[in-house]
Amino acid sequence: MRCTKCNNPAIIKIGYANLYLCNKHFIEWFENRIEKTIDKYHMLDGTKKLAIAVSGGKDSTTLLHVMNNIALKKGIDLVGITIDLGIDMGKKYSSNSVDFAVKNYEMLGIKYKIIKIKEEYGFTIDEARFKIRRPVCSTCGLTKRYVLEKAAKEEGADTLATGHNLNDISQYVLTGYYNGDILSLARLSPVSPAENGYIKKIKPLFLSSEKETMTYAIVKQIPFLYQSCPHTFRVGGETQDKIRRSIEEMEDKIPGFMVSLVQNFEDKFRPLMADIPKLTLGKCKICGMPTNNNRDICSFCATRLKLTVKAHENPT
């Protein structure tokens, strides 16, 4: 196949846009698309300092490279944030993730902060898996959200960007419908404004598929970690995994399925959910961060207490 724009050999087919693209034109198209998405959804309006969550995988390292160019153009300061979750399971997953994140920060000359949760909070995600009943990915997600929010604020950032891609968001949309979880759907936005003590969050890759971010990372020779988390098989349980696989099969049959699903949800359905009452927020008595439903202690501190107290009572 030949590139639609220049007739050189094509490396990727963008089915829904009816395009075949060569290396050069794919990079141009991909970067433009993210920039347009950022502008359309006003993601960087008012942003002075942007924190980027970098795990070392293909999506977050791609995000870091693309946002570095955009931030330079717009005169926005950048800081990278990487969490060492303490996931090892004999595979050194977290230390490998941190190594790849640091490689990218240094390659681009971006300031960064690494937070080791064992040192800062006294537990690892591996310990959480065995010491509390909650599914490990749920504890991990809670930890990442909390630590990223806190670290971004401490670094003086007013906005936090994460690498959620089109496949992730498609899965959240359909899972939200499947579970009738209107509150989650109402909150599922590419831009969550700064409010109630939280900083602004953005998802610049929410219209970019996993195939596109992977291709970008490979073509640009971005160093990233291929290894999967050893807890991956626990992500969201079987139903969510099946929903994700089904969406990807639909995308093969109907090119553009994911973009239509997510874009129509965001542009046409989510605005109708504006009146859904938001959670009432309180202030955590332990750490001072916001709490949901006016609780005295935030979910992270409650989980951390369980983990650290149990470790003390039962050091095995």
Binding site per annotation, positions for ATP: 53-55, 59, 83, 163, 168
> Which residue, 130 or 315, has its beta carbon nearer to ligand SF4?
130
Residue 286, interface with Zn ion (CB under 5 A)? yes
| Residue 279's binding partner out of Zn ion, ligand SF4, none, with CB under 5 to 8 Å set by partner kind | none
Compute the least distance from the CB of residue 85 to Zn ion, in Å. 18
Residues 36-95 contacting Zn ion, CB under 5 A: none
User: What is the distance of C-alpha 246 from the center of its chain?
Assistant: 21
Closer Cβ to ligand SF4, 25 or 58, answer by number: 58
Q: Kindly state the smallest distance separating residue 260's Cβ from ligand SF4, in Å.
A: 27
Stretch near ligand SF4 under the rule CB under 6 A, chosen from 72-80, 132-140, 214-222, 252-260: 132-140
Site membership for ligand SF4, residue 141 (CB under 6 A):
yes
Q: Which does 246 bind (CB under 5 to 8 A by kind): ligand SF4, Zn ion, none?
A: none
> How far apart (Å, rounded) are the C-alpha atoms in residues 91 and 93?
5
Neighbours of 226 (CB within 10 A): 9
Closest CA to 303 of 134, 157, 155, 176: 134
Segment lying near Zn ion (by CB under 5 A), choices 89-97, 113-121, 206-214, 297-305: 297-305
* 12 part of the interface to Zn ion, by CB under 5 A: no
Does the protein bind Zn ion through residue 295 (CB under 5 A)? no
Is 117 a binding residue for ligand SF4 by CB under 6 A? The answer is no
Task: Find the binding residues for ligand SF4 in span 217-256 (CB under 6 A).
Answer: 229, 231-232, 235
Closest CA to 280 of 266, 265, 295: 295
Nearer of residues 55 and 209 to ligand SF4, judged by Cβ: 55
Identify the residue among 12, 66, 101, 136 touching ligand SF4 (CB under 6 A): 136
Q: Show binding-site residues.
A: 3, 6, 22, 25, 53-55, 59, 83, 163, 168, 284, 287, 298, 301
> Which partner in ligand SF4, Zn ion, none is near 136 (CB below 5 to 8 A by kind)?
ligand SF4
Residues forming contacts to ligand SF4 in the complex (CB under 6 A) are 125, 136-137, 140-141, 229, 231-232, 235
Residues forming contacts to Zn ion in the complex (CB under 5 A) are 3, 5-6, 8, 22, 25, 284, 286-287, 298, 301
